[in-house]
Chains A and B, each alone.
Chain A
Amino acid sequence: MIKFENVSLHRSQRCLLKHCDLTIEQGGFYALTGDNGSGKSSVLKAVLGELGLSSGSIVRGFSHGDYSYLPQKNQLDTQFPMSVEQAVMTGLWSQYGAVSALDSKHFERINQALHGVGIAHLKRVSINQLSGGQLQRLLFARMLVQDASLLLLDEPLAAIDQKAQTILLDILKAKHQQGVTIIITLHDVGLVKRYASQQLHISDQKIHLCNADFAHSDDCCRLPMRLKTC
């Protein structure tokens, strides 16, 4: 569970959130929406503690290693000399750490994740040879092997085609059904309705929480019957 208590958030002297209270329940599939620059990425970073709050506090019901974060701008150094398999392997850090050896179960999980996202045939290829879409699938595979209980994804579908979008969102849905909490920033209303259970819409320095079935144009979350506003 993640709880916002009277949270205000500023970025570059611009107010993004003002006195917000919000509870994100465990096991939910939340679509975070809002206009460009409304503060979606900043909210995710604030949840992770990477961005300081102007006021209030965020109660985090998770600790280091319990979550997986896929930032909007990929930070994986694609010039780093490693294969796709090795890159996915880094997601298993919490299990093998600094010194332990990997066993066949670990490699099986890596293979499963690569099959799941459809790039198993590329596992021996260097990461600098991947296209933008293939790289995004790799990052999904790395996230999957982590077995984190909270997934935060910041516009993860920007670089990939529609078919791949469906594959990756279906994987997230399966994760959600296993009890994983998912917070994903999305722009496509259709995808929000189809996959998310709740919608967190940022506008007017507030986060509006509403049922994803009613989502989502900018106006629908302002209807008092369907939303709770922070």
Chain B
Amino acid sequence: MIDLIISPFVEFEFMQRALFGCLLLSINGSLIGVFLLLKRMSLSGDAIAHAILPGAATGYFFAGLNVLAMTVGGLIAGVLVAFLSGITARKTNTNEDSTLASYYLCSLALGVLIISMKGGSVDLLHVLFGSILALDNDTLYLLYFNSALCLLGFCCCYRFLVMDCSDSVFFKGLSRYSGYSHYLFLFLLVFNLVAGFHALGTLMAVGVTVLPAAIAKYWSNRIESMLLIAFVVAVMGALLGLLSSYYYRLPSSSAIVLWLGVFFLLSVLLGSQGGVLRSLKSKAELNEVLS
């Protein structure tokens, strides 16, 4: 059994690279995902993941599948959509979710249009679903840099983010820099999604960010342990996803996200914090006491 798990990673370099890339993504994904969940922005994360497409596509249009060009393009597009939706919402007194949805849909459509002008459907699939089994050195360096930047950002701003997430009005009264933490967080989110899309594609990158955090919420009511659980779950999902992909010839990014989906369903049922069975058990115990 252990041999079955280890041998693909010992024998093949592409599997080692894929696992290493997933580990790097899991560090960032668990950190960002937990705060995304606590800020109630999980769907915004999904929208921004789509929004980076035209930038990446423009990079692709001019430089082909070049990591740097697609990263810079994706970063600009993601940041632009995130900030434009925020500013439009504030200036026109509408909800940010509606402006973000509008901008990201236009952005996604523009991205598909640009890719279709240059390449065929195979290239589009590469951008949408990534290439975790073919990570080159450039992509791994990008994932390294992304992890380092993300960890540094969170080390400096962890308390800012906790304060802002728990009670932003109160924090505003305490610090004149309270608003900046939100924008730094948005930047880290976009950067993480841009790095993630090289490995898993725009559609799946957000999955490894949001799902581990959603799972962790069912097992802990302390932020520190949520971060740890999310990281462990993300790594397990990546490991099982890569192995399924190797043995059953499944698309890797879909397999990783689907394993996380299985963990999520199990957590919904069995989770110690609000899981269905736990709630039923508590109710039964209460009824017993009352009778």
> Residues on A close to B: CB < 8 A?
48, 64-65, 67-69, 71, 75-77, 80-83, 87, 90, 93-94, 97-99, 126, 128, 142, 146
Contacts and interface: CB of A to CB of B under 8 A. Distances in A.
A96 to B, nearest CB: 8
A38 B41 CA distance: 35
Contact of A76 (B38, B170, B173, B222): B170
A76 B171 CA distance: 10
Nearest to B39: A77
Contacts of A48: 173
B174 A64 contact: yes
A93 B165 contact: no
B187 interface: no
Q: Indicate the member of A64, A97, A126, A142 with the most B CB atoms within 10 Å.
A: A64
B66 interface: no
A77 B166 contact: yes
Query: Chain B interface mostly helix, strand, loop or mixed?
Result: helix
A81 B222 CA distance: 5
A90 B221 contact: no
A81 B174 contact: no
Given A82-B223, A126-B221, A67 B167 contact: no
A93 B163 contact: yes
Contacts of B157: 98
B156 A90 contact: no
A100 to B, nearest CB: 10
Nearest to B216: A81
Nearest to A74: B167
B159 interface: yes
A62 to B, nearest CB: 11
Nearest to A79: B38
A64 B165 contact: no
B166 A64 contact: no
A64 B176 contact: yes
B55 to A, nearest CB: 31
B171 A93 contact: yes
Interface in B127-171: 156-157, 159-160, 162-163, 165-171
B223 A77 contact: no
B38 A80 contact: yes
Nearest to A126: B221
